[in-house]
Structure 1
């Protein structure tokens, strides 16, 4: 009897320790999930179809025959009347799952499925880490992205991986934005010292005397651009916006820790960068953020990276910066039949670098499209302006969806021709399932409009024009430890919950409107 009692005490102690620790298992999270409206079985057919599209020559932690079981436990469910939106939503979860890799040190998330010579241990490449964090923050089980991040920063005998700094990154910003979804303060603050060290490394290696940061195009993951080159040391809107976002995030982490000195220090760094970007990278003539070259002149060409400052809400309001967004509607600017180009189409050097060496001279890259769409959602949510609206966001999301097909089947690769939609390296094995962009995060935070925030209010601002869809539902979203359901039913006949736009928290209705408009629950 005493032995049995000891056994029960030990078992209880282990259970309590597991609950209190950061090593939560998938089972812990699967017990919390409970969709309110949608049924998982109604979407399994997508995965059954995706599994028939290939011979699956590469298998890692979760092979195709386990894909649906993983998705069923881990992803928010989405339904809408436009079938290609729905199909690509599930395709992107199906494809990102392919990149989860078992290692002796935990899970890693790869960018390419095939091994790359410039990758780090376990075929890891840091360039897409911010994208991975933003996409995986919606996966119910946290272990995949948490182990990946810790592997990057502590997997080399407690130190960062050797090639962590090969590419610029917005990791601190992404980790803070993940915290806004799961409120896991313990995990975030555990990585706080790593983020402070990370920032110092970039200051030492890449900061100019004037305070701006420089980067080679290739180490931004954006080779063969119109404004620079693989070996040119330009102050680009990319790395300077990333470092601004990281400084803001680290300042917020310091505030959470109660470190007033560090909070003020990193806020000051962000303020300085904001002013430098606004004054040195803004071209008043072109009304656009441009690359500031190593010769201390503006590049005099608009590129999609000029939209990245809004990814981090960097530009101040009411100073005219938002006028740059008119260029996404201009066919001489970035508007093309299959999405947003990476350089303005009016440039005489547009698409002049050939094909096959990772050109950023105009072709469409999902990498850039997802950054621009995240930035556009921020503009529509956080700025008072009249240059762009919901129809512009929906149009570009629709083109982004349409572009993710190749020979009639869902496909995700590196880059595509802007007028034909043809994937430029689509038949190369390395390009299949290129994991260097987001999509489902855009559906959740932009299209449907769940805007993560630090307090307990639930804010939803859909960027779907009222007249486009008569119904849609996003269900089984794990947010702040609760299951959130968001639905629109114009007639009330689709979901039988009444007419209008509704938000549910753990199955209880918490906000409602007759129109498809912004809702904030109190």
Structure 2
């Protein structure tokens, strides 16, 4: 009897999901300029066959393709592994959509975790979830998840929302830059203001900086701290800067001049403190301050996070830190960017299997570093890193997302072999703890969300790397955007060169791959 009831509930959930995404699907299909959605169905068919689906949530595998074609931008390129992992990450992201009595929730693990909140929710990667889901056509999945986190406890925050450091205000504002939904953003504004004040109370210091223990950053066993050490970390201080910047802009939309001044002042103060207190002038890197207010004197990937929020001032020498992504003694490894510098005598010294952040490659950190790196390449006048460096790291990120010859995303991996360190544990499969497709859209292909109506595209693809590529069916500011490169003009029959289309109409073009901003 219970089986029949549960089966009926699942059918109702699927029916609701189908109805809610039909409108966006029909609209997108009418406007798609180049790519044909069913040409990519084979990816979902293959992914479905890779496994016996032992855990099915709101949208099981047999409905995966309908969800994908109803919600996702389409992507095509000549490098097959990029294309395959792009669709795999959408397919695996969908697995985490969970139906609850209070709406959709987005999980981090598919298996239940003892330390999770209601509905197996964990707040650690909420910022990543928002950045990734902002490109899904149906807004309900992430919006209901966010409201559940902030109001799902009898109208109040979920009990474990603030278990982990958060950049949610920043993520929600950057989502707004994609969909321009002021109503949702302003609805969440009081909750975000209240959350900021709570962080100040719980983790703020008298000098204006914030402290955190490693595990509450989701980064256990680091070289600079420990599970119980109250250090001043680049993570939470950058997050709070990003949140203050976002709240300044949201307050301006609302017309709340008092809070504009308040949060602008907080952001300015944090910016100065991070630049002056966390910058190690010997190591040329942003580093953790210990409980004794001295530098930890070790470079860790978290030192790149300030650029995730465009915090460091340009032309003050801070960009020198990015030399470390190219240095094999720094963070450059055969299978990606390490979480601590490889030259450290304590690199990979904490063992394996207890979520160590002492050097192994974590996609959580990789996606933060690559988001930051794209910001450096777009927003800073520097000659330390280039498009080639970005493409190299994206290529390594793609190559790392395989296990035993099949697409895979898990917790963390060995930097030299690419072996997923907990790949055989059920908990690690489809670990929803990072972004990838947001990096593809905003970094590699280069659609840079902005508040005005201009379309700004700056691909970080070296000129002669691919002869063609296309990103299509991107729902942006209510329009469908298509971005393509066709070296010969014979692939897409839209003429030679680099082009941007809005709702099928060409709005910008160039003979080469370069930054284009529509009028």
TM-score, with normalisation over the residues of structure 1?
0.95
2:196 equivalent to 1:184 = no
Distance 1:515 1:257 in 2: 41
Deviation at 1:136, TM superposition (A): 0.2
Distance 1:398 1:27 in 2: 34
Deviation at 1:405, TM superposition (A): 0.1
Distance 1:484 1:282 in 2: 40
2:393 equivalent to 1:391 = no
2:31 equivalent to 1:31 = no
Distance 1:337 1:175 in 2: 34
1:313 matched residue in structure 2: 310
1:10 matched residue in structure 2: none
2:212 matched residue in structure 1: 215
Which residues in structure 2 correspond to 1:47-446 (within 5 Å)?
47-446=44-443
Deviation at 1:224, TM superposition (A): 0.2
Distance 2:91 2:309 in 1: 28
Distance 1:365 1:424 in 2: 10
Deviation at 1:478, TM superposition (A): 0.1
Residue 301 of structure 2 contacts residue 338 of structure 2 at CA under 8 Å; is this kept in 1? yes
TM-score, with normalisation over the residues of structure 2?
0.96
Per-residue Cα deviation, 1:255-309 (whole angstroms, up to 9, x for no partner): 0011111001000000000000000000000000000111100000000000000
Residue 361 of structure 2 contacts residue 414 of structure 2 at CA under 8 Å; is this kept in 1? yes
Residue 89 of structure 2 contacts residue 436 of structure 2 at CA under 8 Å; is this kept in 1? yes
Distance 1:256 1:83 in 2: 42
Per-residue Cα deviation, 1:122-180 (whole angstroms, up to 9, x for no partner): 00000010000000000000000000000000000000001001001100000000000
SS in 1 for 2:495: coil
Residue 21 of structure 2 contacts residue 67 of structure 2 at CA under 8 Å; is this kept in 1? no
Of 469, 472, 487, the residue aligned with 1:472 is 469
2:485 matched residue in structure 1: 488
Q: How many residues align?
A: 499
Distance 2:27 2:168 in 1: 28
Distance 2:120 2:492 in 1: 45
Deviation at 1:27, TM superposition (A): 3.0
Deviation at 1:29, TM superposition (A): 2.0
Deviation at 1:41, TM superposition (A): 1.0
Distance 1:257 1:30 in 2: 31
Deviation at 1:510, TM superposition (A): 0.1
